[in-house]
Structure formats: C-alpha cells, structure tokens
Amino acid sequence: MGKTKRQHRRTATEHERDDGSDGTRTTRLQELIREEVNLILRNEVRDPRLDSVVITMVELAGDSSCARLWFTAEGDEDRREACEHIAGFLRTQLAESLGLKRTPELRFRRDPASRTFARDETETET
C-alpha cells in the first residue's frame, strides 16, 4: 500500500535533515582540520620557518578531496613554500589522528587579512 501523509512528511523531514547535516559535517570537519594542523605545527614540526604560522581557516572542496588552508605568519617573507614542503607529513598525521577514510590534499594560501592587519599595525607604530 501507499504511504500515509504522516509517513511521507516524516521522510521529507529526514531528507531535509540529511541535507543540512552534510553542511554541518563539512563545517565540523573544516574546524577539526584547522585545530589539528595547528596542534601538529606547534608540537611536531621543527622547521623554524613555520614557527609563526597559524592556520586561520580551512575550506573543503565539495567532495572533500582537497582542503585549502589559509594561514597567517609574522613577517613579510612568504612561508607558503615551507607549508607545501610539509603537506605530505601533515596529511599523514591528519589521517592518523582524525581517522578519515580519505584525507584531503592540502593546499596553502596566505590569509590576505593578516597582511593587511600587519601593515596597519606597522603604520600605527610609526
């Protein structure tokens, strides 16, 4: 027999919840990746070029195959090359600590807001 209106309504509500929770899952995963990478940078990476690097935001691709990590760092020199150099290590550590079936490829971008803030701070001091 066919579904009653009540059963149909419940199914529609469950589908809406599934759609919304996928966005929540992505947001939660982005935050977990940000926190974990910052922890790894502080405790396990010994590269002096990365001492002042802090991940500020993570953007995951729709299929979670790639993560763009936005970072800030003291000074004007670009630390992106050093970040790219340890990307494989970070990815391995993330796979172990977060227990992901597929760990996203990591790509780094300097947070433009951090450069603007640093420039404004320098101008204020002079």
d(CA 111, CA 21): 28
* pLDDT tens-digit map of 38-77: 999 999 999 999 999 999 999 999 999 999 999 999 887 7
3-state secondary structure of 35: helix
Confidence of residue 3 (pLDDT cuts 50, 70, 90): low
Q: Which of 89, 111, 104 is nearest to 33 (CA)?
A: 104
Measured CA to CA, the distance from residue 20 to residue 86 in angstroms comes to 34
Indicate whether 17 pLDDT > 50. Answer: no
For the chain, where are the alpha helices, taking DSSP H only? 5-43, 80-85, 87-98, 112-125
Of 7 and 110, the structure prediction assigns the larger pLDDT to 110
**What domains appear along the chain, each with residue ranges and CATH number?**
5-125 (3.30.300.20)
Task: Report helix, strand or coil for 60.
Answer: strand
Predicted TM-score (pTM) above 0.75: no
Tokens of 84: 């790219």
Residue 12 has pLDDT above 70, yes or no: no
Instruction: Kindly report the backbone phi and psi dihedral angles of residue 102, in degrees, each rounded to the nearest multiple of 5, phi listed first.
Output: -130, 120
The pLDDT value given to residue 11: 40
69-123 pLDDT tens trace: 999 998 877 799 999 999 999 999 999 999 988 999 999 999 988 655 555 555 5
